[in-house]
Amino acid sequence: METGDTQPGEAALAAHFDATIALMRQIEPRDWMPDGYRKTMIRQIAQHAHSEIIGMQPEGNWITRAPSLRRKAILLAKVQDEAGHGMYLYAAAETLGADRADLTALLIGGRQKYSSIFNYPTLSYADVGVIGWLVDGAAICNQVPLCRSSYGPYARAMVRICKEESFHQRQGYELLLTMMRGTAAQQAMVQESVDRFWWPSLMMFGPPDDQSPNTGQSMAWGIKRHTNDELRQRFVDMTVPQADKLGVTLPDERLRWNPERGHYDFGEVDWAEFKAVIGGNGPCNAERIARRRAAHEDGSWVREAAVAYAAKHGEAS
C-alpha cells in the first residue's frame, strides 16, 4: 500500500494548511505547519513572553515608593498581571515544541529580543501612569488584532491578555488625570515623562514597513493582521485626543490632523536610536538582562525542588 493511501503526503498537508489560513481559521498544535511558520511563531511568541517578563522591571522599580497604599496595590496587581501574561505566552510557545528553559537561556544570553520600550529608565512616579497610558495603549493597539492571529493558542492567550492590558491602560490614564489636576510640579512631572516616552512608544510597533523583513510573510500566514506602520498610525490617531483631554503636549512639532488622509501626520521616529536599542545598546539593556539573569539564578532552588518533588511523587502515583 502506498503511504499516501493512509497518511496524507506533504503536499496535501501543505494544501490543507494554506486552505485553513485562507479561510481565516486557526492552526492548532496537532496540525501540520511549515517549518518557517513554526519558527516565526516561536520567535514572536518568545519575544512577546520575554517582553512581559522584562516589562515587570521598569514599573517594579516604583512598588516600594508608591505614594499611597491604593497606588501600591494597583501597581502590584499590574506587575503581577504582566508575569501572568509571560506565563501564558511561554505555555503557548511550548505547544509549538519550544522548551521554556531554552527560551530563557536565549533571552539571558542576549540571543532573543524583547520589546525595545523596556530598555528605558523609569525616573518618576509619573512614568507608572505614562507606561499604563502609552505603553499599554500601544500594546493593546498591536495585540487586539493578534486575537485573530492564525495560531490558535497564541490568539486565545491574547484575548485574556488584551482584557487585562485595557484595564492597565485605564489605570495609567486615571493616575495621570489625577496628577494633572494636582500641583504645577505634578503637572510638570507628567509632561516630562510624556516627553521621554512618546517616541519610544512609537518604536514599539517595529521598523517602518519598507524596512521590516518579517511583515510580508507574517501577513501572508495570518500571524500579523496589519503592518507596523498601520498600527503605529492607529495608535497616534487614538492617542492625540487623549493627550488633549489630559492637557499634555506630545513632543512632535509635525503632529497635526490631515483632513485629506483622515489621520494625524507625525514626525519621523529616530530609527538609529531604535536600532541601537534592539542591538543591545539602549540606556538600560545591560541592567535589565543582568536583573533577569540574577532572578533566574536565584530561583534555581525552586526549580530543583519542583523536579525532586515530581520525581518522588510521580513514582508513588
**213 part of the interface to ligand FAQ, by CB under 6 A:** yes
**278 part of the interface to ligand FAQ, by CB under 6 A:** yes
- What sign does the CA torsion over 32, 36, 42, 44 have? negative
Q: How far, CA to CA in Å, does 129 sit from each of 14, 53, 261, 282?
A: 47, 19, 31, 22
Neighbour tally for 173: CB within 10 Å:
20
Q: For residue 262, what is its C-alpha cell?
A: 483622515
Residues 67-86, interacting with ligand FAQ (CB under 6 A):
82
Neighbour tally for 94: CB within 10 Å:
16
Closest CA to 108 of 281, 294, 258, 234: 294
Question: Which residue lies nearer to ligand FAQ by CB, 55 or 187?
Answer: 55
Candidates 20, 26, 116, 239: give the one binding ligand FAQ (CB under 6 A).
116
- Only one of the segments 60-68, 210-218, 246-254, 256-264 lies at the binding site for ligand FAQ (rule: CB under 6 A); that segment is 210-218
**103 part of the interface to ligand FAQ, by CB under 6 A:** no
CB 198 within 8 Å of CB 270: no
Question: Which residue lies nearer to ligand FAQ by CB, 217 or 249?
Answer: 217
- Only one of the segments 47-55, 65-73, 240-248, 249-257 lies at the binding site for ligand FAQ (rule: CB under 6 A); that segment is 47-55
Greatest distance between any 2 Cα atoms in the chain: 82
Report residue 19 CA to chain centroid gap.
Answer: 29
CB 181 within 8 Å of CB 129: no
Candidates 144, 203, 248, 289: give the one binding ligand FAQ (CB under 6 A).
203
- CA–CA gap between residue 53 and residue 155 (Å, rounded): 19
Q: For residue 93, what is its C-alpha cell?
A: 510557545
In whole angstroms, the minimum distance from the beta carbon of 213 to ligand FAQ comes to: 5
Candidates 129, 206, 222, 282: give the one binding ligand FAQ (CB under 6 A).
206
Closest CA to 274 of 282, 266, 285, 283: 282
**234 part of the interface to ligand FAQ, by CB under 6 A:** no
**252 part of the interface to ligand FAQ, by CB under 6 A:** no
Candidates 124, 186, 214, 242: give the one binding ligand FAQ (CB under 6 A).
214
**140 part of the interface to ligand FAQ, by CB under 6 A:** no
**222 part of the interface to ligand FAQ, by CB under 6 A:** no
Which residues would be at the binding site for ligand FAQ (CB under 6 A)?
43-44, 47-48, 51-52, 55, 82, 113, 115-116, 131, 135-136, 139, 142-143, 203-207, 212-215, 218, 224, 228, 278
